[in-house]
Structure 1
Amino acid sequence: MGKSLSKALRARKTADAGVLQWKNQNPSMEELFEKYPWVEEMVLTMGEELLKNAAWGLWFRVITGSGLSMVDLATDINVIRVYFEEGQKGYGWMMLGMVLASMGLQLLVVVLQNGKMGWGKLLREALIVVSGLKPGFDAMRVVSNAEMEEHQVMDAKGELVFTKCAEMFCESIPGCILQVYALIQGGSGGQMGTKIFSIVVSAITTGMGSASISYDFDSDPEKRRSLPSFYGYLPDEGNKRTVMAR
């Protein structure tokens, strides 16, 4: 049972979601938690510390969860350069507009989140967005259970979801469609490898981002408790969840 707790935590971004999965896998734990509520709090605290310190915990999630987003941004900027070099300036300007729209929405959240916390905090968060590192910082805050501060409008998990949605709907999805269209119209000339690689990265980023949001929402303990008729399609068994995640 202890090994299965480790697997459940490894599969989730937060300790409460991992402990919920583990509890549902083991009916005896559900009975124990109900009889002695302090045991659940103890296991949850242990899970939080394990996520912070384990090699597969914080850094693994930060690297895998946000790495694709940053690679997607880098490939999009590179393909914008290619479009301008090859005389396809129309496509280049449209791609640039998509990237700026994504960053604009993220900057809007930064202002809403940190507008009342001083110019220093606001400027630091804005620089994180402009540098393309916001997905990594958001993922780190979620895994480290960063608390929502007094003047913020959403918690760390909500901010991470908004960042992913902004990237998908402003950059990854329309950018992928535009690049495929530009590739068809442009024929086989030019830097084909660079263009195809950018399309593949955008497609993978979109798929992983949307699947991750659905997975996180469905396995969230609060959402399952508040709306069990909608959330809960993911099985509680670790192996079955892994199959569905893939």
Structure 2
Amino acid sequence: MAPSGKKRVERLAEVLKESRALRELCWRHLWMKAMMAAALEGSLNRNKAVSTKMVCVCEGEGAQIGRNMVPSFMTEQLAEVGVNEWRVQNRVVKELMKEEIWFEPMAVVLGKGIVKSAAWGLVARVIVGAVLSMTELVTDLFVLWQYWKGVQKILKFRNASLASLTTSLVLQLILVVGQNRKKGVRRTLKEMAYVITGMKPAVDAYGVASGAEKEKDTELDPMLEMTFSKGIEMFSESIPGIIIQTSAIISYLNSGVTVLMTPYLSQAVSVLTTGYVVYFIGGDMMFYLVMKAVRGDFRY
């Protein structure tokens, strides 16, 4: 599981012993340790700007400055921009970055780690990803049904959509069979049922968000399994879906046929899902692999 806020604070004491520069900074500014500890807790708090000069900051204000770090990262996609917002809102941070050139890059790395490993951040990302995946499946099935009936009956788009969904389904089934082949027939059939019913994204999201670890006799831990599953979904369903729906819409417009809203909706959901998987799940995976290399016991 991800390190809790309490464990991150405990780790601060070890870091202070290892880092001479940070240790000296804490000696010069008594509020510095309180600021770092509050930031490392990674709790969601209301952002309250602190304009006090560095020489006048008390321990309570230092803690508030630390608590302001997470809200700054929550409103920005790039860590560097989040750090800049933290600096603008808190005079002390700005002065620290002028005084110590290493403090800003340290804050960027620190902020990335806090947001990536905080439970609330991961839960939000995996839940949104699961909702997008399930919504995409529903819209794809509805569009496929429309291709089969009425004015939307265009065989090449129907066949392409069917091939895309079938490929995604088969690859997902292969993944769960490989993952659970040593867990017995009952477990394998249950996981296959999740795939067939479209519940697999929700099941994966629950496993990752709840901090589940790799089970005995399975090949992948929950984070890796979810990442592979999302990759299959993206390359065999989302990206082909974008191409298919775009081609269908262009074909309808050229032929003068009225285009229903569902192809547009399906296309939009596929675009959102693809972007989400690449940006967030891919980012989580990179962070996971780096931490796995540094610490073999790392878990989300």
Q: Distance in 1 between matches of 2:215 and 2:247?
A: 44
- The answer (yes or no) to whether the contact 2:227–2:281 under 8 Å persists in 1 is yes
Pick from 207, 210, 228: which aligns with 2:278?
210
Q: Indicate conservation of the 8 Å contact 2:165/2:237, yes or no.
A: yes
Structure 1 unaligned regions, length at least 5: 1-13, 37-42, 228-246
Look up the equivalent residue of 1:180 and give its one-letter code.
Answer: T
Aligned 8 A contact 2:183 2:217 in 1: yes
Q: Post-superposition shift, 1:197? A: 0.9
Q: Which amino acid aligns with 2:145?
A: R
* Counterparts of 2:192 and 2:12, CA distance in 1: 47
1:201 maps to which of 261, 269, 275: 269
Give runs of aligned pairs for residues 14-163 of structure 1, distance below 5 A: 15-16=2-3, 31-34=12-15, 51=119, 60-85=124-149, 86-163=152-229
Structure 1 residues 225 and 99, CA gap change in structure 2 (3 angstroms) = closer
Contact 1:63-1:136 at 8 Å conserved across structures:
yes
Counterpart amino acid of residue 114 in structure 1 = N
CA RMSD of aligned residues (A): 3.2
Aligned-pair identity in percent equals 34
Structure 2 unmatched runs, 5+: 18-39, 44-113, 295-300
Q: Which consecutive segments of 4 or more residues in structure 1 shift more than 4 A?
A: 28-31, 56-62
Larger Rg over CA atoms: 2
How far did 1:189 drift? 2.3
Contact (CA 8 Å) 2:180, 2:219: kept in 1 or not?
A: no
Say which structure, 1 or 2, has more relative contact order (CA 8 Å, 6+ apart): 1
Is the CA contact (8 Å cut-off) linking 1:73 and 1:132 kept in structure 2? yes
CA gap 1:80/1:218 in 2 versus in 1, 3 angstroms: same
Give the Cα separation in 2 of the matches to 1:216 and 1:168: 16
Letter in 1 for 2:293: S
2:293 to 218, 226, 230: 226
CA-CA distance at 1:30 after TM superposition: 5.5
In structure 2, how many angstroms separate the alpha carbons of the residues matched to 1:75 and 1:119? Answer: 32
Normalising by structure 2, we get a TM-score of 0.57
Partner SS, residue 15 of structure 1? coil
